[in-house]
């Protein structure tokens, strides 16, 4: 995939849909919804970032993302509950490697919405977009060892466990073991 194609696709961030969810660009007006989960230590425990300390911080972050959307360099969607018309998380590609037609899937979900199958539903739709529209060959996801819920999502998506890189990332002052799961285009079921 050429970088220009990636920018073309994401400079007009496509909206995606599932039975229960709408995936669209994050907006500054989502600040209160995002802050509601991003401020919680239990949400960020296994993530690279610290809890959002203030609503202003969340607004500033969303303003920053608005600029990245304009340049076609943000590949993450807001996950919107259709039933409540509320942002309940994010899902998308944390990074894209154009030279190898691969991407890293990332996601976060408000804890009030756990155990309902919502994140596998959102992630499956994002993966379908990645394989069918972006022409990806491989999608991988990484998780910090101990984050069993994230590993369970990866398995539900049909990803295969590939291994653990011991103490491979320095996160919040400690070296962490990182597991990787992945799926190839010919293994993906689009239904």
Q: What is the pLDDT of residues 108-122, one digit of tens each?
A: 999 999 999 999 999
Is residue 150 helix, strand or coil? Answer: helix
CATH classification of the domain holding 7: 3.40.630.30
In a domain, residue 100? The reply is yes
Q: What is the mean pLDDT of residues 124-147?
A: 97
pLDDT at 79: 98
- pLDDT tens sequence across 37-46: 999 999 999 9
Rounded to two decimals, what is the model's pTM?
0.95
Asked if residue 164 has pLDDT above 70, the reply is: yes
Q: Which long-range contacts (CB under 8 A, 24 or more apart) does 108-115 make?
A: 108/37, 108/38, 108/43, 108/47, 109/37, 109/79, 110/36, 110/37, 110/43, 111/37, 111/40, 111/42, 111/43, 112/88, 113/81, 113/88, 113/89, 114/149
Domain that holds residue 88: 3-140
In a domain, residue 155? The reply is no
Which tokens is 106 given?
A: 């990332």
- pLDDT tens sequence across 56-97: 999 999 999 999 999 999 999 999 999 999 999 999 999 999
Overall domain count for the chain: 1
In a domain, residue 146? The reply is no
In a domain, residue 27? The reply is yes
């Amino acid at each position: 995939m050429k970088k220009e194609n990636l920018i073309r696709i994401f400079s007009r961030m496509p909206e995606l849909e599932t039975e229960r969810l709408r995936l669209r660009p994050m907006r500054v007006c989502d600040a209160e919804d995002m802050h509601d989960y991003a401020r919680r230590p239990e949400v960020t425990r296994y993530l690279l970032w610290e809890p959002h300390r203030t609503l202003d911080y969340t607004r500033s972050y969303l303003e920053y993302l608005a600029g990245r959307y304009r340049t076609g360099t943000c590949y993450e969607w807001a996950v919107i509950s259709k039933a409540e018309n509320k942002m309940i998380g994010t899902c998308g590609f944390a990074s894209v490697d154009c030279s190898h037609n691969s991407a890293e899937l990332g996601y976060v979900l408000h804890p009030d919405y756990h155990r309902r199958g919502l994140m596998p539903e959102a992630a499956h739709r994002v993966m379908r977009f990645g394989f069918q529209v972006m022409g990806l060959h491989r999608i991988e996801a990484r998780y910090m060892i101990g984050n069993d819920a994230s590993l369970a999502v990866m398995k539900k998506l049909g990803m295969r466990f590939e291994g653990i890189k011991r103490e491979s990332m320095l996160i919040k002052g400690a070296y962490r073991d990182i597991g990787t799961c992945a799926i190839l285009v010919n293994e993906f079921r689009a239904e």
